Amino acid sequence: MNKRERLERAIAGEPVDRVPVALWRHWPGDDQRAADFAASTIWFQRHYDWDFVKVTPASSFCLVDYGVQDEWAGDPEGTRRYTRRVIKRSLDWTELKVLDPKKGGLGRQIQVLNLLKEALGDEVPYIQTIFSPLAQAKNLAGPDQLLRHMRRRPDRLHTALNTITESTMRFLDAMRRTGISGIFYAVQHADYGIMSEAEYNEFGRPYDLRILELAGRWWFNVLHIHGDAPMFRLLADYPVQVINWHTHGEGPDLAEGQAYFNGAVCGGLQRRDVLLLGTPHEILAQAHEAIAQTYGRRFILSADCVIPVTTPISNIRAAREAVEKG
């Protein structure tokens, strides 16, 4: 099977020649320049031959044109530290403007996708990371400020979420000719440790669904629910083909996830305790446990989030080899 056939059959619960597999990571420093970012992403794919490429820009790629600033400070997961936020008072939410997807950080990301199209063509599916409007708002204001404004001036935050959603949807429109197979939709606040289900239903879900409805033009959309206490059942009806979450936290395991969701579940490998700190033998064992748990159907082997940039090569290789050895 080619990669698309394998993924489509896995999503449908049909027999596959082997379980699909993919890992992804940040590329700190390189992610600030289109050519370098594309080159690093292409190298990672050609070296390990994943079944799809998850394009992982810095979270600020969609926000720099609002005026945020960030820096690479050595975070082990490859994320950048915000040094300037733009929301200081609740009234600032009402002053955000819809961004032009062909300019600035968004335009640079379109360049990255076009470079991937030249290099990968139709051979390898690749999907673009899209941060939910609530996640983008968090990075504009800071996590504490976001929650404070959400609970004290919800009207102003809703104004901003509508603006951010419109910007995101225009970016999705601009990606139509880049050859992507879908989006990796990153939700960061559907976590019981952050807010209630009622709050997420008001400030998250309506904006998520507007974006995912537009993303329905593609065949391979992945929902990522970030956090150790994910609201999995609340989001299990989202119109996506795949869900990826922290399967070793307080949420459902892979088999339970399959009971709530009709598409494919994606995960099985702990990115820190096993991929970063474990041995190839431990990785193979955890991968085989995940395959057994799902019977190798409606399942994609991956980590629960980005792998640390210092993950040993032997461990990455073991994750890739796990699906070849049964």
> For the chain, what is the mean pLDDT?
97
* pLDDT for res 77: 96
CA atoms of 58 and 72, how far apart (whole Å): 10
The DSSP letter of residue 100 is P
Q: Are strands 182-187 and 222-225 parallel, antiparallel or unpaired?
A: parallel
Query: Band of the pLDDT at 249, cuts 50, 70, 90?
Result: confident
Residue pair 221/128 in contact (Cβ under 8 Å)? The answer is no
Q: Residue 179: give its domain's CATH number.
A: 3.20.20.210
Contacts of 148 (CB under 8 A, 6+ apart): none
CA–CA–CA angle 55, 307, 286 (5° rounding): 120
Instruction: Count how many domains the chain has.
Output: 1
Give the chain's count of helices (H) and strands (E).
Answer: 12, 9
The 10 Å CB-count burial string (b at 16+, else e) for 91-110 is ebbeebeebebeebbbbbbb
Q: Would the pLDDT of 326 be above 70?
A: no
Residue pair 148/74 in contact (Cβ under 8 Å)? The answer is no
Query: Band of the pLDDT at 145, cuts 50, 70, 90?
Result: very high
Query: Band of the pLDDT at 195, cuts 50, 70, 90?
Result: very high
CA atoms of 139 and 133, how far apart (whole Å): 10
* pLDDT for res 251: 87
Q: Would the pLDDT of 324 be above 70?
A: yes
Average pLDDT over residues 159-170: 98
Token pair recorded at residue 146: 């976001």
Token pair recorded at residue 254: 């892979």
Coil vs helix vs strand at 118:
helix
Query: Band of the pLDDT at 113, cuts 50, 70, 90?
Result: very high
Q: Would the pLDDT of 230 be above 90?
A: yes
- Give how far the C-alpha of residue 28 lies from the chain's centroid of Cα atoms, to the nearest Å: 16
Average pLDDT over residues 66-93: 97
The DSSP letter of residue 24 is -
Domain span at residue 267? 3-322
277-294 pLDDT, tens digit each: 999 999 999 999 999 999
Average pLDDT over residues 207-218: 98
Average pLDDT over residues 209-222: 98
CA atoms of 206 and 10, how far apart (whole Å): 29
Residue pair 267/303 in contact (Cβ under 8 Å)? The answer is yes
Contacts of 107 (CB under 8 A, 6+ apart): 100, 101
Q: Are strands 264-269 and 242-245 parallel, antiparallel or unpaired?
A: parallel
Q: 79-88, 138-147, 245-254, 301-310 — which is least confidently predicted?
A: 245-254
Instruction: Tell which phi-psi region holds residue 227, choosing left (phi > 0), alpha (psi between -120 and 50) or beta.
Output: left
Task: Classify residue 10 as exposed, middle or buried by CB count within 10 Å of its CB (0-12, 13-18, 19+).
Answer: buried
Average pLDDT over residues 81-104: 98
Residue pair 298/7 in contact (Cβ under 8 Å)? The answer is no
Average pLDDT over residues 188-203: 98
* pLDDT for res 325: 62
DSSP code string of 28-39 = TTGGGSHHHHHH
Average pLDDT over residues 302-317: 97
Average pLDDT over residues 222-230: 96
241 vs 250, higher pLDDT: 241
